[in-house]
Amino acid sequence: MTGADGFIGSHLAEELTRRGVKVRALVMYNSFGRSGWLDSSPPELAGSMEILAGDIRDPHAMVELTAGIDVVFHLASLVAIPFSYLSPDNYVKTNVIGTLNMLQAARTNGVKKFVHTSTSEIYGSAGHVPMDESHPQNAHSPYAATKIAADQLALSYLRSFSLPVTVVRPFNTYGPRQSARAIIPTIISQIASGAASIRLGNLDPTRDFTYVSDVVVGFIAAAERPDLEGEVIHLGSGSEISIGELVSRIAALMKSEVEIVSDARRMRPQSSEVDRLVCDNSKAARLLEWSPKVEFEKGLRRTIQWVQDNLDHPGYRPDRYVI
């Protein structure tokens, strides 16, 4: 699997290992020899994985990575939307060319299943709700545009070369290990640091949040179920909450009263904002027998506790805005 060092990827790699699956986990190479969040995995899990450092932009290495592999979970991508405004070229190279490299490597090695990771960001703001898999795609950021391209590349490899591709499209995943630039850990970390006021962008957009363990179960079901080639499947809760309401909910759980300060740096360009996302998860229920199990408040409590326990992690710097 790719992206095993990331938020969702590390949880997926651990759960697969718990289930007795042999996992070959690709992490982004760095000179420190670190494996991202897999460095925090229980030793009995991380020690059972084959952890390899590399880069999906290297086509030759991806052929070696997928040799002898039955199922590819492709999660690696650049995901920070604000940074895609500054460095769109990197998003094309990683999300589009990197995905092409993975698809071609899987084709070369006769992979039996390719589970490709999409995102609800490809839709832009909801034209109708709940949003099913046929909702029109309308990229509002370079990031979203590259993910549309990656999705279409993946599906084209099924149509052109019979590569068995299934596309999993999570809405907004949250939980332990999520980057501090994401909205829920941003709110929690600022409150946990003792700030009387927290700095945020637009409070009006709504999002559909799903706890990471539920998303992982969806990914595994997409790999295990037969006859899903060419299917695009949403993973989401089917409910929405505005960012302003989310702040109030988290502050109440943390027993804090906070003032919200509007930070222009955290605002998307006006025409780039995604105002509303609400998932229709009926297809996942039908094809995967999947539905989210972790109630939102319970998931928030778990996430709050984890962020509070890890506030000294280098990735959590509440006093700085990291795009």
List, by residue number, the catalytic residues. 143
H runs (alpha helix) in the chain: 7-18, 43-46, 59-66, 81-86, 88-91, 98-108, 142-161, 183-192, 212-224, 243-253, 282-288, 296-309
Distance CA 1, CA 321 (A): 30
Residue 132 three-state SS: coil
Distance CA 230, CA 154 (A): 9
With beta carbons less than 8 A apart as the criterion, state whether 25 and 52 touch. yes
What angle, 0 to 180 degrees and rounded to 10, lies between the N-to-C axes of helices 59-66 and 98-108?
Answer: 40
Burial class (CB in 10 A: 0-12, 13-18, 19+), 297: exposed
Strands 232-235 and 197-200: unpaired
What angle, 0 to 180 degrees and rounded to 10, lies between the N-to-C axes of helices 98-108 and 142-161?
Answer: 20
Phi, psi of 281 (to 5 degrees): -105, 20
Strands 71-74 and 50-54: unpaired
